[in-house]
Structure 1
Amino acid sequence: MRRPKKYESGEATQYITRRAALRKLQLSLNDFRRLCILKGVYPREPKHRRRAQKGSSEIRILYHAKDIRFLLHEPIVWTLRDYKIFAKKTGRDRAIKDFRNLKRRLAQHPELKLDHIVKERYPTFIDAIKDLDDCLTLLFLFSTFPSLRLIPREQSALCRRLTIEFLHYIIASKSLRKVFISIKGYYFQAEIKGQKVTWIVPHYYPFKPHSKAEVDFKVMSIFVEFYTIMLGFVNFRLYHSLNMVYPPQFPASVLNDNEETLKDEHAFVSDRIAALNFELMRTDTVVEEEEDLQMDMELLEQDGDSKKVLKMKQDAQELARLRTLFKGLKFFINREVPREPLVILLRSFGAKVSWDSTIFPGATFDETDETITHQIVDRPSLSKQYISRDYIQPQWVFDCVNRRQLLPTNKYFMGVVLPPHLSPFVDPKRDDYVPPEEKALSDPSLIETHEQSDEEVSDSDEQKEDGEAAQNLMDAQLQLAYQEEKIEADQFMGDDVNEDEVEDDEEGSEEEVDPKEKARVEEKKKMAVQSGKVHKENKRQLRKNEVDEHRLQARMVKPRHRNLFRKLIREKQAKEKEEWLLKKKRRVIEAEDKAQKKAAKKAAKKAVAASIAMSS
């Protein structure tokens, strides 16, 4: 029996370096990178790098040998090799100026077909929906780009068309659930086929080119190439699930880009938003979603009244209210407000939207329409206002969607300081630091019962001090009036006292008590309940007991789980430290505010006193 040599089995044979993979596949580095992105093959980190690299301590990029063997049978490998041959032949034709053959070869340009890769990576439709987050975020980003060297015009136009189609499905199905405004952009979350899909729509700023060192557009465009095919499949299935015609019919300006549209940022964005403000054609006008919702409610009513069923009923009722949150309302968007996120939100929940038709295309009614219920503005004041509508800031729409109800508009009027915009993606049951304002906003019942903050305590202390000063002044006045009345009464009645009555009272109190009665009273005293003493817990001792218990738990952890246990403890300590720092920061800020308020109050009192002195 032959003795096995070192590195001929085990972990050394499971991994292969990138250079060896390139030799095996006969591809260039760029083609290999493109193939790995399309197929979803990524480098691996071995458990023992020295063994995997056959004794070498140099850090190299490693792949599973099984993944490389999997790539050997991929049909697009031959297409990538044809690209190399195509580039050589076209380069030769350009060099010898054989334009006839060059034109013929360009017409026969090899094309990558990625349909089979999409079916291979996503065997079921639900698998594709689960992976939509990165797809939508990247395509929404590329849909805002102008024509660049590494981003062809056709690719950005395709991204724009596919994202508009997806947004039309979101509006028609009313599947939007959460929204949030951040520095990165607008976060949206929808529920599609029972799966939560979250994506980001970037803010529209003038495009600023980045250097190649900061952003690798070539690698990103490879991802976009795959994601466009994937989103096309997904849109096709989603549209047919709602009996909608696919592909939808858009205005000509949305699909046909010209030089002026690509240069003008306003025109580039306006056409996209105009496409969202009209209904699409359906193959069947009957909407089955409301019937399905009623059937689900009937099934829930047939079940028992357990807590789980009641929770499901409550969630179904909230969802039904959310889908028609803005139904019957008409909104007019001012020119300074970002229109695309608001149009998506308002139309997803049943509202009618319009804007100034003289500036942007796609408006459905004018600002002078008396049936408008809300006008969204982002400026401190307007020269002309209508009494029949509410003038609100854009945050009101986002907060209403997250709270799933129409909030009062008085906190969102023009020029008013807005309440904090809370993220709906944060777990309300988390153990982190939660400010009392957030608790009050998330649960209105806590407005009166929540624990007072330092600022509220300081305000109440000032009110108490003012009240005590006023009470002391009133008590002094009452005491003075009482003494004056007593002096007048003594002068009027005199100081005569009936001494006989006093002596009779003293004799009556000194009479002997019956012994039986005395014994009964003493027995009753013995049976009386005595007040107990409050047991004060020693906080230091309690802390010591907790530390001892924690040490005992740490000793009981198995050796193989100790690293994980230590990691959890470090995370817990870091979270506690962060919470402590936030509370400390809040105390410092509130102390500064309190000092400023006191200084302002003293200055006001001094000013009043000075004015009184001047007047006197």
Structure 2
Amino acid sequence: MGGLEKKKYERGSATNYITRNKARKKLQLSLPDFRRLCILKGIYPHEPKHKKKVNKGSTAARTFYLIKDIKFLLHEPIVNKFREYKVFVRKLRKAYGKSEWNTVERLKDNKPNYKLDHIVKERYPTFIDALRDLDDALSMCFLFSTFPRTGKCHVQTIQLCRRLTVEFLHYVIAARALRKVFLSIKGIYYQAEVLGQPIVWITPYAFSHDHPTDVDYRVMATFTEFYTTLLGFVNFRLYQSLNLHYPPKLEGQAHTEVKAREDSYALDSESSMEKLAALSASLARVVVPAEEEAELDEFPADGETAAHEEERRKELQAQEQQKKLFEGLKFFLNREVPREALAFIIRSFGGDVSWDKSLCIGATYDVTDSCITHQIVDRPGQQTPVIGRCYVQPQWVFDSVNARLLLPVADYFPGVPLPPHLSPFVSEKEGDYVPPEKMKLLALQRGEHPGGKLQRTGQQGTNPALE
């Protein structure tokens, strides 16, 4: 018994793929809308193993998608919204052409909108899944938050990215979740540990932007549209886990909010956002939890298990000590140093930080404060030295975080050639080359004093700024 004989290219791998043009016609979407839909839904092209068979014997360059992915897109409600928006644009152009201004206003009031909440829940069934995929979202949002307010990107998108990234930075500060920092040519790499998941993102330096012409900002804006929705969900859940107000409020702001409403001004919301973005104040909590140190349960173990548990316990102790690295220290930032990055790092490890009031909003104390222990400078000879205060270059903060201890300040005095900035993301194995600077750092972590000139931070030494 035999059925109908199938023709060539109607069975096997050829039936699992579909070209982009056929998929677009099947969905009745234009190429930009099809590309946008695939980005939002997480559908990507696939390279067939036998491309010539799938392409029906042709060797022409074509983009292929899985047929099951295209069938999955057929039931997406956003497709109807794309069609409604196309009709809306056509009607709006027609009303503009006829100068029917009442119709224009009516159409703008009824502009079709859509939400991406269901797509976020669909792509990330659990909260841990969302955290694992947060690296690209943070990097893209931090990039968009630094864009100038030009015609390349919508101002609302830039402001939304700025607000969401500031909220995430405040969570990292409140949870003491920052672990590693690295200064690179591309920007500043950060690594935070959120609910046991390592998250790495990059923040660009605060330089003026010159938009390149070979970048498709519409594709980037589509990714950012999804990432902002995802980051909003994540921020809300993270703030709930720490009993923090969301949207965030500064300490003392919640009590004075009712009084402030009575005599509020137009720019009060912008001023509140600037104070929040200064990263110098703590956030208000819904319920202040009782601070009780949780004791780890200890179970009897033998052999390798005991050694593993001991190593894990030491690692946890080292992390707890690192969280309090800058506790009890007061920093003052000069105007020439990167304020936001240093304020974020210092606050993440328990330190107090301030700057000149004329530089930025949010300064908590002045340069004349006698309790300041460290002043971060990058121009030697520009300040009046104060006895008992350490003047160090900004790299001391970054290197101390990566070393998990306060490094000797003598190597970071103003005007002194700085030691190499080692990457904390590189771990040498047995037999690999270890730089001499890394050997010196490992000796410091063991409590040794390599060389004769290195001193602990507690021993002041001779500061060239005071001579």
Higher gyration radius (CA): 1
1:139 matched residue in structure 2: 141
For 1:352 and 1:196, how far apart are their aligned partners in 2?
Answer: 26
2:260 corresponds to 1:275: no
Question: Would the alpha carbon gap of residues 273 and 233 (structure 1) be closer, same or farther in structure 2, given more than 3 Å must change?
Answer: closer
Instruction: Report the secondary structure of 1:187's partner residue.
Output: strand
Q: Is the 8 A contact 1:396 1:412 kept in 2?
A: yes
Residue of structure 1 in register with 2:374 after alignment? 374
Q: What is residue 385 of structure 2 aligned with on the other side?
A: 385
The aligned amino acid for 1:118 is V
C-alpha distance in 2 between matches for 1:4 and 1:414: 79
| 1-structure distance, mates of 2:288, 2:368 | 33
Tell me if structure 2 keeps the 8 A contact 1:422–1:438.
Answer: yes
Paired residue for 1:365? 365
- How far the C-alpha of 1:393 sits from its partner, in A, is 0.7
Amino acid across the alignment from 2:354 = S
TM-score by length of 1: 0.67
**3-state DSSP class of the match of 2:148?**
coil
For the 8 Å contact 1:185–1:200, the answer to whether it is kept is yes
Instruction: Name whichever structure is richer in helix by fraction.
Output: 1
* Equivalent residue number for residue 460 of structure 2: none
- 1:357 deviation in Å? 1.0
Q: 1:254 to 1:164 in 2, by over 3 A?
A: farther
Task: Report the 3-state secondary structure (helix = DSSP H, G, I; strand = E; otherwise coil) of the residue aligned with 2:295.
Answer: helix
Retained in 2: the 8 A contact 1:274–1:363? no
Match of 1:256 among 270, 284, 293: 270
Counterpart selection for 1:284 from 278, 287, 307: 287
Alpha-carbon contact 1:370-1:388 (below 8 Å) kept: no
Distance in structure 2 (CA, Å) of the matches to 1:407 and 1:282: 34
Moved over 6 A (4+): 250-254, 445-450
Q: For 1:394-413, what aligned pairs fall within 5 Å after superposition? A: 394-413=394-413
Q: CA deviation at 1:255?
A: 5.1
**Aligned pair count?**
431
Which structure would you say has the larger RCO, counting Cα contacts within 8 Å and 6 or more residues apart?
2
Q: 1:449 to 1:163 in 2, by over 3 A?
A: closer
2: CA distance, partners of 1:101 / 1:389: 68
What are the Cα deviations for residues 265-289 of structure 1, in whole angstroms up to 9, with x where unaligned?
A: xxxxx9377531111110111155x
What percent of counterpart residues are identical? 52
For each residue in 1:377-424, what CA deviation from the matched residue of structure 2 results, as whole angstroms up to 9, or x when unmatched?
A: 011223410112100111111111111111111111111111111000
Deviation for aligned residue 1:430 = 6.8
- How far is the alpha carbon of 1:205 from its aligned partner? 0.6
CA–CA distance in structure 2, aligned partners of residues 393 and 448 of structure 1? 22
8 A Cα contact 2:180 2:401, kept in partner: yes
8 Å Cα contact 1:164/1:272 also seen in 2: no
Match of 1:319 in 2: 319
* 2:270 maps to amino acid: N
1:55 correspondence with 2:69: no
Matches within 5 A, 1:563-574: none
* 1:415/1:136 CA distance change after superposition, 3 Å: same
- Counterpart Cα distance in 1 of 2:152 and 2:450: 59
Correspondent of 1:178 among 164, 171, 180: 180
Please state how far the C-alpha of 1:54 moved relative to its aligned partner. 1.4
Q: Provide Cα deviations, 1:151-193, integer angstroms capped at 9, x if missing partner.
A: 1111100100000100000000001000011111111000001
**Are the equivalent residues in 2 in contact too, given 1:186–1:202 (CA < 8 A)?**
yes
**Equivalents in 1 of 2:181, 2:173: separation in Å?**
14
Residue of structure 1 equivalent to 2:38: 36
Identify the residue that residue 200 of structure 2 maps to in structure 1: 198
1 CA distance for matches of 2:448 and 2:319? 25
Partner of 2:239: 239
Contact 1:330–1:373 under 8 Å retained in 2: yes
Q: Which amino acid aligns with 1:229?
A: T
Aligned partner of residue 345 in structure 1, secondary structure: helix
User: Deviations 1:470-511 (Å, cap 9, x if unpaired)?
Assistant: xxxxxxxxxxxxxxxxxxxxxxxxxxxxxxxxxxxxxxxxxx
Q: Distance in 1 between matches of 2:201 and 2:186?
A: 11
CA gap of 1:446–1:366, structure 2 versus 1, over 3 A, is closer
Measure the CA separation in 1 of the matches of 2:401 and 2:299: 27
CA distance in 2 between counterparts of 1:32 and 1:316 reads 48
Match of 2:87 among 77, 82, 85: 85
Residue identity opposite 2:220 in structure 1: M
Query: Residues 254 and 271 of structure 1 are in contact (CA less than 8 Å); yes or no, is this contact kept in structure 2?
Result: no
The verdict on how the C-alpha distance between 1:287 and 1:422 changes in structure 2, with shifts beyond 3 A counting, is farther
CA distance in 1 between counterparts of 2:32 and 2:420 reads: 48
State the shift of 1:431 in Å. 5.7
Q: Distance in 2 between matches of 1:15 and 1:406?
A: 58
Q: How far off its partner does 1:449 sit? A: 10
The residue identity in structure 2 corresponding to 1:181 is: L
TM-score, normalised by the number of residues in structure 2 = 0.88
Partner residue, 1:116: 118
Letter in 1 for 2:78: I
- Taking the aligned partners of 2:127 and 2:205, their CA distance within structure 1 comes to 30
Q: Match for 1:71 among 73, 95, 98?
A: 73
**Equivalent-residue separation in structure 2 for 1:5 and 1:449 (angstroms):** 77
CA spacing shift, 1:247–1:379, aligned 2, 3 Å: same
> For 1:60-93, what per-residue CA distance to the aligned partner results, in whole angstroms no more than 9, with x for missing partners?
0000011000000101000011111111111111
